[in-house]
Amino acid sequence: MGKAILFFPCHTGAHVREHGFLLFGFFCKPHIFMYFTTQYYSSMRIYIYGEKVLADTAQPVGVITSELCSLLNEMVLFMRDKHGVGLASPQIGVSQRFFVMDAGGKVRKVINPEILSFGNSTAEMEEGCLSLPGISMRVRRSKRIAVRYQNETGETVREELKDYPARVFQHEFDHLNGILFVDRIAQIARRMVIRDLERLAKKTEEVKYEAARL
């Protein structure tokens, strides 16, 4: 059997089972939500390392509107289209505190999440990210967490998550705080991928430059 590699699409999101490998592919003002339609899904893209939105701290959601609910639904479709298990809003260029995840046999639409406590036990597993294509490293995370968030109906949800769902939640939650998995690894490990990070940042700048010329 191949090893298990967590590759969030981070965002979020592509969850792909292939050749014995397990891959997890896991800015916007509030008033802009009124412009989101079902067509938004077709224009979604994964934002790549070097783009500012991935390093920003996302802003809380004030009012849960029908437009936000539609966007959450579209994110689930986009996540599934990428065979993903999680997708955070910054990964599609929206700097607000929400994400979707499909882990542990349940789809969660998570708004204004909090992690209330971390268990004592941790586990290390290899993670990757669609925002960091071609890079994967081992990341240590808590095996059990207690969380609180609002769902799409505005209801406050409290849950205790463990193992895989806990890891997905932590990974997506990090995105809302401008944290990528490479920010969670030791400096000695980060030095192993520094050239790859520089390559991605350079490519992002080149794309921005070309877009500005159009």
pLDDT recorded at residue 128: 80
Strands 122-129 vs 5-8: parallel, antiparallel or unpaired: parallel
pLDDT recorded at residue 40: 56
Instruction: Give the predicted TM-score (pTM) of the model.
Output: 0.78
Q: Which domains does the chain have, with CATH numbers?
A: 5-213 (3.90.45.10)
pLDDT recorded at residue 37: 40
For the chain, give the mean pLDDT: 80
Catalytic residue among 51, 127, 152, 172: 172
Max CA distance (Å), the chain: 52
CA distance 1 to 20: 6
pLDDT recorded at residue 188: 87
On whether the CB atoms of residues 53 and 47 are closer than 8 A, the answer is: yes
User: Residues in the chain with pLDDT < 50?
Assistant: 1-39
Q: How far is CA 156 from the centre of its chain?
A: 21
For this structure, is 172 an active site residue?
A: yes
